[in-house]
Amino acid sequence: MQQFFSENSNQRSDQWGGSFENRMRFPLAVIREVASVIDTYADKPFILGYRISPEEIETPGIRLEDSLAFAQALADTPVDYLHLSMGSYKRTSLNQPDDKELLLTKFVHALNNKKPLIGIGSVERPEDAEEVINAGAALVTIGREFICEPKWVQTVFNCSEKAKNTGGPKDWLHLYYVSKTSSVSGLESYLAGSETFGSKSATISISI
Ligand SMILES: Cc1cc2nc3c(=O)[nH]c(=O)nc-3n(C[C@H](O)[C@H](O)[C@H](O)COP(=O)(O)O)c2cc1C
Protein backbone atom coordinates (compact mmCIF):
# COMPACT_ATOMS: atom_id res chain seq x y z
CA MET A 1 0.00 0.00 0.00
CA GLN A 2 2.90 2.30 0.74
CA GLN A 3 4.28 1.62 -2.73
CA PHE A 4 1.01 2.83 -4.22
CA PHE A 5 1.07 5.92 -2.02
CA SER A 6 4.67 6.76 -2.91
CA GLU A 7 5.29 8.90 -5.95
CA ASN A 8 8.65 7.18 -6.11
CA SER A 9 7.45 3.63 -6.60
CA ASN A 10 4.04 4.36 -8.12
CA GLN A 11 4.70 5.26 -11.76
CA ARG A 12 1.18 4.54 -12.94
CA SER A 13 -0.67 6.94 -15.18
CA ASP A 14 -4.17 5.54 -14.62
CA GLN A 15 -6.60 6.26 -11.77
CA TRP A 16 -4.24 4.46 -9.31
CA GLY A 17 -1.26 6.78 -9.81
CA GLY A 18 -0.24 10.40 -10.30
CA SER A 19 -2.18 12.80 -8.10
CA PHE A 20 -2.37 12.58 -4.31
CA GLU A 21 -6.00 11.39 -4.56
CA ASN A 22 -5.06 8.69 -7.06
CA ARG A 23 -2.12 7.43 -4.98
CA MET A 24 -4.40 7.17 -1.92
CA ARG A 25 -7.01 5.25 -3.88
CA PHE A 26 -5.48 1.78 -3.51
CA PRO A 27 -4.90 1.82 0.29
CA LEU A 28 -8.35 3.31 0.81
CA ALA A 29 -9.90 0.61 -1.40
CA VAL A 30 -8.06 -2.09 0.56
CA ILE A 31 -9.31 -0.65 3.85
CA ARG A 32 -12.89 -0.57 2.56
CA GLU A 33 -12.66 -4.18 1.42
CA VAL A 34 -11.03 -5.44 4.63
CA ALA A 35 -13.61 -3.58 6.71
CA SER A 36 -16.40 -5.21 4.72
CA VAL A 37 -14.87 -8.68 5.24
CA ILE A 38 -14.61 -7.93 8.98
CA ASP A 39 -18.26 -6.89 9.04
CA THR A 40 -19.29 -10.07 7.30
CA TYR A 41 -17.10 -12.70 8.90
CA ALA A 42 -15.27 -11.53 12.02
CA ASP A 43 -16.24 -12.13 15.57
CA LYS A 44 -16.45 -8.80 17.34
CA PRO A 45 -14.36 -7.00 18.34
CA PHE A 46 -11.90 -7.24 15.46
CA ILE A 47 -9.37 -4.44 15.29
CA LEU A 48 -8.21 -3.02 11.99
CA GLY A 49 -5.18 -0.75 11.97
CA TYR A 50 -3.01 1.04 9.44
CA ARG A 51 0.73 1.48 9.63
CA ILE A 52 2.28 4.39 7.85
CA SER A 53 5.85 5.23 6.88
CA PRO A 54 5.75 9.01 7.20
CA GLU A 55 8.48 10.05 4.76
CA GLU A 56 10.89 8.94 2.08
CA ILE A 57 14.15 10.71 1.29
CA GLU A 58 14.04 9.94 -2.44
CA THR A 59 12.82 12.54 -4.89
CA PRO A 60 10.09 12.13 -5.83
CA GLY A 61 9.02 10.36 -2.67
CA ILE A 62 6.60 10.51 0.22
CA ARG A 63 6.63 13.91 1.88
CA LEU A 64 5.28 14.76 5.29
CA GLU A 65 2.61 17.07 3.96
CA ASP A 66 1.10 14.19 1.95
CA SER A 67 1.39 11.75 4.85
CA LEU A 68 -0.37 14.11 7.22
CA ALA A 69 -3.15 14.65 4.69
CA PHE A 70 -3.32 10.89 4.24
CA ALA A 71 -3.61 10.46 8.03
CA GLN A 72 -6.56 12.86 7.97
CA ALA A 73 -8.17 10.76 5.25
CA LEU A 74 -7.47 7.57 7.22
CA ALA A 75 -9.15 9.11 10.25
CA ASP A 76 -12.41 9.07 8.29
CA THR A 77 -12.13 5.37 7.34
CA PRO A 78 -13.13 2.34 9.44
CA VAL A 79 -9.55 1.80 10.70
CA ASP A 80 -9.41 1.63 14.48
CA TYR A 81 -5.95 3.10 14.88
CA LEU A 82 -3.00 4.55 13.03
CA HIS A 83 0.50 3.26 13.72
CA LEU A 84 3.67 5.07 12.73
CA SER A 85 6.61 3.12 11.39
CA MET A 86 9.82 4.76 12.51
CA GLY A 87 13.03 3.99 14.33
CA SER A 88 12.74 6.63 17.05
CA TYR A 89 9.78 8.28 18.70
CA LYS A 90 11.92 11.41 18.81
CA ARG A 91 12.08 11.59 15.05
CA THR A 92 11.51 14.87 13.28
CA SER A 93 11.19 15.49 9.55
CA LEU A 94 13.90 13.96 7.37
CA ASN A 95 13.31 16.37 4.53
CA GLN A 96 12.73 19.56 6.53
CA PRO A 97 15.54 19.54 9.12
CA ASP A 98 14.58 23.02 10.38
CA ASP A 99 11.22 21.71 11.52
CA LYS A 100 11.85 20.46 15.06
CA GLU A 101 8.32 19.29 15.89
CA LEU A 102 8.10 15.56 16.59
CA LEU A 103 6.42 13.55 13.85
CA LEU A 104 4.45 11.93 16.64
CA THR A 105 2.95 15.29 17.60
CA LYS A 106 2.23 16.20 13.99
CA PHE A 107 0.27 12.97 13.47
CA VAL A 108 -1.62 13.38 16.74
CA HIS A 109 -2.78 16.79 15.51
CA ALA A 110 -3.61 15.47 12.04
CA LEU A 111 -5.85 12.79 13.54
CA ASN A 112 -7.64 15.40 15.63
CA ASN A 113 -8.81 12.87 18.23
CA LYS A 114 -10.71 10.90 15.59
CA LYS A 115 -8.46 7.85 15.84
CA PRO A 116 -5.84 6.74 18.36
CA LEU A 117 -2.21 6.89 17.31
CA ILE A 118 0.34 4.24 18.26
CA GLY A 119 3.81 5.63 18.90
CA ILE A 120 6.98 3.63 18.48
CA GLY A 121 10.70 3.77 18.11
CA SER A 122 13.58 3.15 20.49
CA VAL A 123 11.38 3.00 23.56
CA GLU A 124 13.98 1.56 25.92
CA ARG A 125 13.16 3.06 29.31
CA PRO A 126 9.85 3.68 31.07
CA GLU A 127 10.52 7.39 30.63
CA ASP A 128 10.54 6.90 26.86
CA ALA A 129 7.12 5.25 26.99
CA GLU A 130 5.82 8.13 29.12
CA GLU A 131 7.19 10.66 26.62
CA VAL A 132 5.34 8.90 23.81
CA ILE A 133 2.10 9.06 25.79
CA ASN A 134 2.77 12.67 26.81
CA ALA A 135 3.25 13.57 23.14
CA GLY A 136 -0.36 12.53 22.61
CA ALA A 137 -0.11 8.92 21.44
CA ALA A 138 -2.74 6.59 22.86
CA LEU A 139 -0.55 3.51 22.81
CA VAL A 140 3.13 2.65 22.93
CA THR A 141 4.66 -0.15 20.95
CA ILE A 142 7.96 -1.80 21.74
CA GLY A 143 9.85 -3.93 19.25
CA ARG A 144 13.57 -4.45 19.62
CA GLU A 145 13.64 -3.80 23.34
CA PHE A 146 11.58 -6.94 23.87
CA ILE A 147 14.40 -8.92 22.28
CA CYS A 148 16.75 -7.58 24.97
CA GLU A 149 14.19 -7.84 27.78
CA PRO A 150 11.12 -9.99 27.05
CA LYS A 151 9.72 -9.09 30.49
CA TRP A 152 10.19 -5.36 30.04
CA VAL A 153 6.61 -4.50 30.99
CA GLN A 154 6.50 -6.75 34.04
CA THR A 155 9.92 -5.60 35.19
CA VAL A 156 9.07 -1.93 34.94
CA PHE A 157 5.67 -2.38 36.54
CA ASN A 158 6.91 -4.49 39.40
CA CYS A 159 9.96 -2.39 40.10
CA SER A 160 7.65 0.60 40.25
CA GLU A 161 5.22 -1.21 42.58
CA LYS A 162 8.03 -2.44 44.79
CA ALA A 163 9.39 1.07 45.11
CA LYS A 164 5.92 2.28 46.12
CA ASN A 165 5.34 -0.51 48.64
CA THR A 166 8.71 -0.57 50.31
CA GLY A 167 9.66 3.05 50.10
CA GLY A 168 12.66 2.14 48.02
CA PRO A 169 14.60 1.81 45.96
CA LYS A 170 13.35 5.17 44.73
CA ASP A 171 15.32 4.70 41.59
CA TRP A 172 13.35 1.84 40.11
CA LEU A 173 14.80 2.68 36.72
CA HIS A 174 18.15 1.76 38.19
CA LEU A 175 16.72 -1.55 39.33
CA TYR A 176 15.41 -2.12 35.83
CA TYR A 177 18.84 -1.57 34.38
CA VAL A 178 20.51 -3.76 36.98
CA SER A 179 18.04 -6.49 36.12
CA LYS A 180 19.03 -6.18 32.49
CA THR A 181 22.72 -6.19 32.97
CA SER A 182 23.43 -8.52 35.86
CA SER A 183 20.28 -10.59 36.41
CA VAL A 184 19.68 -9.83 40.08
CA SER A 185 18.72 -12.96 41.98
CA GLY A 186 15.20 -12.82 43.35
CA LEU A 187 14.00 -10.21 40.86
CA GLU A 188 12.13 -12.87 38.93
CA SER A 189 10.12 -13.78 42.01
CA TYR A 190 8.24 -10.51 42.06
CA LEU A 191 7.54 -10.25 38.38
CA ALA A 192 3.81 -10.78 38.63
CA GLY A 193 2.89 -10.61 34.95
CA SER A 194 0.72 -7.51 34.79
CA GLU A 195 0.48 -5.91 31.37
CA THR A 196 -0.39 -2.49 32.74
CA PHE A 197 2.26 0.16 32.87
CA GLY A 198 2.21 2.87 35.50
CA SER A 199 -0.68 5.17 36.21
CA LYS A 200 -1.30 6.11 32.62
CA SER A 201 -2.44 2.63 31.61
CA ALA A 202 -0.50 2.66 28.38
CA THR A 203 -0.89 -0.56 26.46
CA ILE A 204 2.39 -2.05 25.40
CA SER A 205 2.40 -4.47 22.50
CA ILE A 206 5.04 -6.28 20.53
CA SER A 207 5.77 -5.19 16.99
CA ILE A 208 8.48 -6.19 14.53
C1 LIG B 1 14.82 -5.86 11.32
C2 LIG B 1 13.69 -4.88 11.27
C3 LIG B 1 12.73 -5.00 10.27
C4 LIG B 1 11.66 -4.10 10.20
N5 LIG B 1 10.72 -4.24 9.21
C6 LIG B 1 9.67 -3.38 9.16
C7 LIG B 1 8.67 -3.53 8.15
O8 LIG B 1 8.71 -4.41 7.31
N9 LIG B 1 7.64 -2.65 8.14
C10 LIG B 1 7.55 -1.65 9.04
O11 LIG B 1 6.60 -0.87 9.01
N12 LIG B 1 8.49 -1.48 10.01
C13 LIG B 1 9.54 -2.32 10.08
N14 LIG B 1 10.51 -2.16 11.05
C15 LIG B 1 10.37 -1.03 11.98
C16 LIG B 1 9.80 -1.53 13.31
O17 LIG B 1 8.48 -1.98 13.16
C18 LIG B 1 9.83 -0.41 14.34
O19 LIG B 1 9.16 0.73 13.85
C20 LIG B 1 11.26 -0.08 14.70
O21 LIG B 1 11.99 -1.26 14.98
C22 LIG B 1 11.33 0.87 15.87
O23 LIG B 1 10.74 0.33 17.01
P24 LIG B 1 11.61 -0.37 18.17
O25 LIG B 1 12.74 0.55 18.50
O26 LIG B 1 10.65 -0.57 19.29
O27 LIG B 1 12.12 -1.69 17.61
C28 LIG B 1 11.57 -3.05 11.13
C29 LIG B 1 12.55 -2.94 12.14
C30 LIG B 1 13.59 -3.84 12.21
C31 LIG B 1 14.63 -3.68 13.30
Query: What per-residue confidence (pLDDT) applies to 153?
Result: 86
Query: What per-residue confidence (pLDDT) applies to 158?
Result: 80
The 10s digit of each residue's pLDDT in 116-130 is: 999 999 999 889 999
**Ligand 1 center to residue 53 CA distance, Å?**
10
Query: What per-residue confidence (pLDDT) applies to 40?
Result: 96
Ligand 1, atom 28: nearest CA belongs to which residue?
208
Query: What per-residue confidence (pLDDT) applies to 43?
Result: 87
d(CA 74, CA 207): 21
Three-state DSSP at 62 gives coil
**pLDDT averaged over 10-residue windows placed end to end, the chain, 208 residues:** 97 98 98 96 91 96 97 97 96 96 97 96 92 94 91 82 59 44 35 33 37
Domains, in order of start, for the chain: 2-145 (3.20.20.70)
d(CA 188, CA 158): 10
Pocket probe mutation, ligand 1, options 52, 53, 86, 120, max atoms within 8 Å of Cβ: 120
Give the pocket of ligand 1 (CB within 6 Å): 51, 85-87, 120-123, 142-145, 207-208
Query: What per-residue confidence (pLDDT) applies to 162?
Result: 66
